[in-house]
Homo-oligomer: A and B are copies of this chain.
Amino acid sequence: MALVNDHFLKLPNNYLFADIAKKVNAFKAMHPKVDVISLGIGDVTQPLAPAVIEAIHKAADEMATRQGFRGYGPEQGYDFLRDAILKNDFLPRGIHLDRDEVFINDGAKSDTGNIQELVRWDNSIGVTDPIYPVYIDSNVMIGRAGVQENGRWSNVLYMPCNAENGFVPQLPDRRVDVIYLCYPNNPTGTVISKAELRKWVNYALKNDTLIFYDAAYQAYIQDDEIPHSIYEIRGARKCAIEFHSYSKTAGFTGVRCGYTIVPKEVTAATLDGERIPLNPLWNRRQCTKFNGTSYISQRAAEAIYTPEGKQQVKETINYYMQNAKKMLTTLRGLGFECYGGENAPYIWAKTPETSSSWKFFEEMLYGAHVVCTPGVGFGPSGEGYVRFTAFGSHEQTDEALHRIENWLKK
């Protein structure tokens, strides 16, 4: 009898954003004439950079000729892109990586979801809380997260990040096998200092813990002191795998390209204590279950690193960060306690009068026709918060803030 992987049955039915979409659609069905503004899902709205568009056209023209046609690319990605990454994202920060430590992918969601395949099914995991749901859900699917009780998984250590601790997670008081960190943080928009990040690397080295470090939002960092990569910390290449994405950096949510760094020095152990480097294992995983990213998307990504590309991408990031600034000012003016938004495109706001996340979400949807993301959807410590994203157009963002203001005045 074909048996189902029953770990799937432990999962809540819906992915968070599918849940939100459902509720928004229900509202729209009842109010077909109302124009709802979403500051909910972290999706960008501004067009691709001209340098990127040009690269896509050029790649398409190549594919139209026998000479320029490219079939299967390397599963790990083309050297032209891997080299551009090393040269632009790492060398200027003093980080020396080899080309074959870079794996191009179709976006960070795939790799942050798949990376757990490299460790044993019974390893324990730790997450800062609230957190991007993919980290936990991908572990649930293979049985690693254990069973769920009261919104918590039995084999997951939750490290709360909230106003009380200034969104600085505390090191666990016991050892954990694998820890997920995401900075600048999704969903809170907060960042980690080098000193704090060093504590985590030291913890990992001391406890033989693997760190899966999600740097998807590093391009939004404005403060020079904040690390863009965990490899800015000495020792990190022995214990950390890092995920990057062009989704937010360059508006690639529909183009699909990102990359993962698996240093050759990162290892995990067998039961006998033998150290196994994870770089060849990830390579084997990718060669078996992935056939490389679209050539056109890789050429598009390469264009981000040209002088024009860099300038254009920076302008778009500035555009979104202007939204963030305005949102912070307005929401604070309206009495919201807000966090993040200074080095990240997310603002994490405490709901007024300790309203629950979902209750506030629904009230604002029905009262102001503005969509946010309920914080509790990111984990238990997100209860009583909501996330706003700065990815709207200026006009939409202004209008949304205006509506929230009017709604609260009522």
- Using a CB–CB cutoff of 8 Å, the interface residues on chain A facing chain B are 1-6, 8-9, 11, 13, 15, 18, 41, 43-48, 50, 53, 56-57, 60-61, 63-66, 68-73, 106-107, 109-110, 113-114, 117-123, 133-134, 137-138, 141-142, 177-178, 208-210, 247, 251, 253-256, 267-271, 276, 278, 280-281, 284-285, 287-297, 393
Contacts and interface: CB of A to CB of B under 8 A. Distances in A.
A4 B69 contact: no
Q: How many copies of this chain does the complex contain?
A: 2
Nearest to A12: B284
Contact of A120 (B5, B48, B119): B5
A24 to B, nearest CB: 15
A124 B142 CA distance: 17
A69 B41 contact: no
A5 B60 contact: no
Contacts of A290: 109-110, 113
A50 B288 CA distance: 31
B2 A177 contact: yes
Contacts of A134: 288-289
Contacts of A296: 56, 254-255, 294, 296-297
A345 to B, nearest CB: 13
A284 B280 CA distance: 29
A8 to B, nearest CB: 5
Nearest to A211: B2
A134 to B, nearest CB: 6
A19 B41 CA distance: 43
A46 B70 CA distance: 9
A48 B71 contact: no
Which of A4, A107, A270: most chain B CB closer than 10 A? A4
A397 B177 CA distance: 53
Given A48-B69, A278-B4, A109 B270 contact: no
26 contacts: A3-B269, A4-B267, A4-B269, A5-B120, A6-B120, A9-B276, A13-B284, A15-B284, A45-B71, A47-B63, A48-B64, A48-B69, A50-B64, A60-B60, A63-B255, A66-B393, A71-B251, A72-B253, A106-B291, A117-B141, A141-B288, A247-B291, A253-B291, A256-B292, A256-B294, A294-B296
A270 to B, nearest CB: 6
Contacts of A294: 106, 254-256, 294, 296-297
Nearest to A281: B8
Contacts of A137: 288
A210 B404 CA distance: 52
